[in-house]
Chains A and B, each alone.
Chain A
Amino acid sequence: MSAATRVATPRKTSKGPWLRAWERFRSNGAALAGLAILVPILIAVSSYPLWWPYAPNDIDLRALNQAPGAVHWFGTDGVGRDILARLLQGGRISLTVAIVSVAISIVIGFLVGAIASFGGKVVDNGVMRLVDLAMTLPPVIFLLVLASIAGTGVMPTIVVISLLSWPVLSRMVRARLMELRERDFVVAARGMGASMPHLLFRHGLPNCIDILVVYATLQIANAILLEAGLSFLGLGIAPPEASWGNMLNAARSTIVLEQYVWQWMFPGGALVLTVLAINFLGDGLRDAFDPRSDLN
Chain B
Amino acid sequence: MMPEPILDIQDLRTVFRIGGRDIAAVSDLELSIAPGETVALVGESGSGKSVTSLSVMGLLPKKVGRIASGTIRFRGKSGVTNDLAQMDGESLRRIRGNDIGMVFQEPMTSLNPVYTVGEQIAEPIRIHLGRSHKQAAEDAVKLLADVGIPDPARRARQYPHELSGGMRQRATIAMALACDPALLIADEPTTALDVTIQAQILELLAKVQAERGMAMLFVTHNLGVVAEIADRVAVMYAGRIVETGPVDQVFAHPRHPYTKGLLRSVPRLGEATALKRAGTPLPTIAGSVPSLANLPQGCSFAPRCPYAIDACAVAVPALVDAGEGQLSRCIRWQEL
A214, chain B: closest CB distance, angstroms:
16
Q: Give the segment of A75-83, A179-187, A259-267 that binds chain B.
A: A179-187
- Encode A174-192 as 1/0 by CB contact (under 8 A) with B: 0000000001111111111
Interface residues on B, range: 20 to 34
Query: What's the dominant secondary structure at chain A's contact region?
Result: helix
A16 & B159 in contact (Cβ 8 Å cutoff): yes
A191-B59, A193-B93 known; A17 and B127 CB under 8 Å? no
Which of B62, B110, B158, B175 has a CB less than 8 Å from the CB of A14?
A: B158
B-side contacts of A203, CB under 8 Å: 112
A-side contacts of B162, CB under 8 Å: 14
B127 & A188 in contact (Cβ 8 Å cutoff): no
A193 & B104 in contact (Cβ 8 Å cutoff): no
A14-B159, A184-B106, A187-B104 known; A194 and B112 CB under 8 Å? no
A-side contacts of B159, CB under 8 Å: 14-17
B112 & A207 in contact (Cβ 8 Å cutoff): yes
> B94 interface residue, CB < 8 Å from A?
yes
B109 & A184 in contact (Cβ 8 Å cutoff): yes
Q: Could you tell me the distance between the alpha carbons of A17 and B57 in the complex, rounded to whole angstroms?
A: 32
- Encode B106-132 as 1/0 by CB contact (under 8 A) with A: 100111111110000001100110000
Closest to B105 in A: A184
> B15 interface residue, CB < 8 Å from A?
no
A14 & B116 in contact (Cβ 8 Å cutoff): yes
Q: Could you tell me the distance between the alpha carbons of A194 and B127 in the complex, rounded to whole angstroms?
A: 7
Closest to A10 in B: B154
A189-B112, A191-B57, A191-B97 known; A120 and B123 CB under 8 Å? no
Give residues of chain B (242-273) contacting chain A, Cβ–Cβ below 8 Å.
none
Interface residues on A, range: 20 to 34
Closest to B102 in A: A191
A80, chain B: closest CB distance, angstroms:
55
Could you write out 18 A-B pairs with CB less than 8 Å apart?
A: A14-B116, A184-B110, A185-B113, A187-B110, A188-B175, A189-B123, A191-B97, A192-B175, A193-B95, A193-B97, A193-B127, A193-B128, A195-B127, A198-B127, A203-B112, A206-B114, A207-B113, A209-B114
Instruction: Identify the A interface with B (CB < 8 A).
Output: 13-17, 120-121, 183-195, 198, 202-203, 206-207, 209
Instruction: Identify the B interface with A (CB < 8 A).
Output: 57, 59, 62-63, 93-98, 102, 104-106, 109-116, 123-124, 127-128, 157-159, 162, 172, 175-176, 178
- The 9 A-B pairs with the shortest beta carbon distances in the complex, nearest first, are A193-B97, A192-B97, A193-B96, A191-B102, A184-B109, A184-B110, A188-B110, A192-B124, A14-B158
